[in-house]
Amino acid sequence: MAPFGAVGHTYGYARVSTTEQTPALQSDALTAFGCERIFTDTASGATTSRPALSDLLDTLLPGDTLCVWRLDRLGRNLPHLIELVTDLKSRGVAFASVTEQIETSTAGGELVFHIFGALAAFERRLLRERTAAGLAAARERGNIGGRPPVMSPAKKRAATRMRNQGATVGDIAEILGVSRRTLYRHFEKSATRNS
């Protein structure tokens, strides 16, 4: 694996959200930075399918640099951005952002990304804690959470009655508007309780 700063190729990545937008501003900045080739996607920030980015990631070799005009052009969100840059680092590929003046090949640039990584982990932990607290509060109020059961007590009684009268599972499912799988689960639970 070549160290950062090794002589390699510098590739740019540009992204615009709609076909009405032009990547000219990004392309000019990336060319001025020294990018030899620029890969461009037309896709919203939330879109996971970015063919040009996939091609670029396949092209990069140790010692190369991936450069963007601004951080939000690369990652869908902060955790995704950190994941991409961490992957680049593990492959010996440097990362640079023109607007934020970040270059992971420098000590200062690497420090910034360590801070971003810590913030992303902090954000995930806060989200987990808020979710757990919300679920606990809902349980205290008597709300279990999740989807409501498909088989209400009335449907369970009707299914059992029809089954005892000789109706097929398919007929019962059609009459009650539930799947056969749901009925099989219900009958299995009833049999276990009654055994």
Q: What is the pTM of this model?
A: 0.58
Helix orientation angle between 107-140 and 78-90, rounded to the nearest 10 degrees: 140
pLDDT at 144: 66
Q: Catalytic one among 17, 44, 54, 152? A: 17
- Which residues of the chain are modeled with pLDDT < 50? 1-6
Summarize pLDDT for 3-48 with one digit per residue, the tens: 344 469 999 999 988 776 788 999 999 999 999 999 999 877 666 6
Round to whole Å and give the CA distance between 78 and 80.
Answer: 5
Please, which residues bridge with residue 68 across strands?
13, 97
In angstroms, rounded to a whole number, what is the distance separating the alpha carbons of residues 4 and 142? 56
Q: Give the other-Cβ count within 10 Å of 98's Cβ.
A: 20
Per-residue confidence (pLDDT) for residue 63, from 0 to 100: 93
CATH domain 153-194 topology = Arc Repressor Mutant, subunit A (1.10.10)
All CATH 1.10.10 domain ranges in the chain, comma separated: 153-194
Token readout for 81 is 């951005």
DSSP sequence for 156-177: HHHHHHHHHTT--HHHHHHHHT
CATH architecture of 10-118: 3-Layer(aba) Sandwich (3.40)
Query: What whole-number distance in Å separates Cα of residue 104 and Cα of residue 190?
Result: 61
Residue 17 annotated among the catalytic residues of the structure:
yes
CATH 3.40.50.1390 placement within the chain: 10-118
